[in-house]
Chains A and B, each alone.
Chain A
Amino acid sequence: MQISFGTVAFGVVVAAALTLAIVGSPDERGRRQVAETRAAAVAAAAEAAAPKTASADGVTLTSVSFTLPTSDREYPAGPHADAINGNCLSCHSAGMVLTQPELSRAEWQGEVNKMVKVYKAPVSPEDAAAVVEYLAQLKPGR
């Protein structure tokens, strides 16, 4: 199922209205009032929060909006950790590097070169050397 802001806003208002209904006046008139309030709130919420859709031919596609998780994980401490933390976290989280098998220094050098030449990572030559130094000492998973 997809969840849109509309659904959420709608859900929140319904939840509020239900709470109202539960804690409201116990007498008959009060209950009716609460019911009316709730109906109005639900209708207003549905109207205001109606998610934008595209429909045709019996199919409806509903707009979606989410926040994707980010990672605040840094590379394990060690000599030149500042170089890798400063240069190798902007395009992908550390997991990209720390799930790699043990690679030789030459292979790590190749990876860093590829990041710079192919993917346009803005890394100074000094930092690139420091990152290779760090990676050559890395024992991922141990």
Chain B
Amino acid sequence: MPDADIATGTTRRRVLQGLGAGALTLGAGRALGADVRLPLPSDPRDRPMTGAFPQKGSMILQRTRPPLLETPFEVFDQGVFTPNDRFFVRWHWAVIPESVDAAAFRLAVRGNVERPLSLSLEDVLNLPSVELAAVNQCSGNSRGLFEPRIAGGQWDNGAMGNAKWVGVRLKDVLDRAGVKAGSVAVRFNGLDEPVVPDAPDFMKSLDLDHARDGEVMIAYRMNGEQLPLLNGFPLRLIVPGWYSTYWVKMLSDIEVLDKPDESFWMKTAYRIPDTPHASVRPGETGFPTVPINRMVPRSWFTGLANGAKVKAGASAPLRGIALGGDRGVKAVDVSTDGGATWAAAKLGADEGTYSFRRWTFDGAAAPAAGGKLEALVRCTNADDVVQPILQPWNPGGFMRNGVETLDLTAA
């Protein structure tokens, strides 16, 4: 059992939970008891559930320190927005501030700018605010499902979440500092730090034009509340349509660069093959790479899980969520003949280009005589990018988006 023994010694946390959030289980030092078996292709598949993390409900424990907490998939059936207390958590380095003083916090804007800034949270709150729904998905979401398997965080599909973010445009903040001519990129750093001094601090950067597109924002609210500490309180970069690796948490430093970012997490880590579908053969070497970037379309079944029983002779109540990636969801289609023919699912409310979108489908007839029913679901985005039937492979285990299959039994 990975990290089954959370050493708490944290009576204070339990007190906090007990007083502050009725939903949290008191004294959940180790686990809520209901351990899960993830549908990974090989062992180890078992994970403990935990309720021991501040501001978090019941989560799948992937790693205690620094925390990797996965959202149990049933949460995605409950609505297109992911509650803050069930939103996945992912940190690279274990030096994470446990306290953040909202009055003393400062966001630095520096580098190749006319006027370096040190903004208080009040300064940030006083800028014009914008709101946007966007999915935050880990680059390595679903890595554990790849075959051949790949070292790294062994996530099932729950390293993602959708929220309504409120904040200020990064562009407005950069304009206040005055980006100097000759700038090419903007680098972002948060309050977290490596455990050893010379190790690479976690920083990410965006091209200047992307940083100034008016959509990239600095969020201070998530689903109507301030951000949970583990999701980046007090400020988090929101990069709509791009993988979570760019969504720097506890954002405290913005540096305008006059040359491309050569630091580790851009130049060496989080790279994908520069090939169609970022696809290479397992073991292949010598291909060019680029930093991971835009998300690709995905769709999932929710409600019914593999092996579920449905009524023979009736239409199976298929439903789920879809994500367009860096463009909106154009269509969701379902196939019950292994992908030979597809029929359109009904789309739910449009919450915006970067949000999850609900879908339902009532045309999947479970055989009257009983037996198996296999359904496939596929999303097409507004750029006509379609999910592939066969899952491509890359050595980082990134960008998984193959068509999902649901196996049902009619009885």
Question: Do A and B associate with each other?
Answer: yes
In this complex, how many residues of chain B approach chain A with their Cβ under 8 Å: the count is: 76
A sample of 26 inter-chain contacts (CB < 8 A) reads: A2-B55, A2-B228, A2-B233, A8-B19, A12-B19, A52-B101, A53-B103, A54-B122, A61-B121, A62-B102, A62-B226, A63-B101, A66-B98, A68-B96, A69-B10, A69-B29, A72-B7, A73-B5, A95-B2, A95-B61, A98-B3, A99-B154, A101-B151, A103-B151, A120-B194, A141-B44
Let me know if B105 and A56 touch, CB within 8 A: no
Determine the chain B residues whose CB is within 8 A of the CB of A55 once the complex forms.
122, 125
Please state if B229 and A61 are interface contacts (CB–CB under 8 Å). no
Is B53 located at the chain interface by the 8 A CB criterion? yes
Interface size on A, residues (CB 8 A): 51
Report B-chain residues with C-beta under 8 Å of the C-beta of A94: 2-3
Q: Is A96 interfacial (CB-CB < 8 Å)? A: yes
A121 interface contact, C-beta 8 A: yes
Contact residues in B for A67 (Cβ distance below 8 Å): 10, 12-13, 54, 98
Is B64 among interface residues, defined by CB-CB distance under 8 A? Answer: yes
| B225 within 8 A of partner (CB) | yes
Task: Identify which of A17-25, A26-34, A85-93, A125-133 touches chain B.
Answer: A85-93
Instruction: Tell whether A93 pairs with B16 under 8 Å between CB atoms, given A52-B103, A68-B54, A101-B149.
Output: no
Which partner residue on chain B sits nearest A90 by CB separation?
B195
Q: Among residues 47 to 87 in chain A, which have CB atoms less than 8 Å away from a CB atom of chain B?
A: 52-57, 59, 61-73
Which of B19, B42, B67, B200 is in CB contact (< 8 Å) with A102?
B42
- As a 0/1 sequence over residues 266 to 294 of chain B, the CB contacts with chain A under 8 angstroms (1 = contact) are 00100000000000000000000000000
**A44 to B65 Cα, complex, angstroms:** 38
**Is A91's CB under 8 angstroms from B196's CB?**
yes
B129 at interface by CB-CB < 8 Å? yes
Known: A54-B103, A55-B122, A69-B6. A2 touches B16 (CB 8 A): no
Bound-complex Cα distance A11 to B348 (A): 42
For the residues of B in contact with A, the DSSP-based class is: loop
Within 8 A of A (CB), among B126-158: 126, 129, 149, 151, 153-154
The smallest C-beta distance from A29 to any residue of chain B, in angstroms, reads 32
Interface centre among B9, B103, B228 (most CB of A within 10 A): B103
Bound-state Cα–Cα, A44 to B335, Å: 65
Q: How far is the CB of B332 from chain A (nearest CB, A)?
A: 32
Contact (Cβ within 8 A) B54 A61: no
B102 touching A93, Cβ below 8 Å: no
Residue of B nearest to A102 (CB): B42
B312 to chain A, nearest CB (A): 37
CA distance A71 to B94 in the complex (A): 12
- Alpha-carbon distance A140/B94, docked complex (angstroms): 23
- A7: chain B residues at CB < 8 Å are 19-20
Which residues does chain B contribute within 8 Å of A118, judged by CB atoms? Answer: 199-200, 264, 268
B54 → A minimal CB distance (Å): 4
A93: contacting residue among B21, B63, B100, CB under 8 A? B63
**Structural contact, B55 and A99, CB atoms closer than 8 A:** no
Nearest opposing residue in chain A for B230, CB measure: A68
Please, what's the 1-or-0 string for A97-127, where 1 marks a CB less than 8 Å from any CB in chain B? 0111111000100010000001111100000
| A53 nearest in chain B by CB position | B102
Within the complex, the shortest CB–CB distance from B139 to chain A, in Å, comes to 17
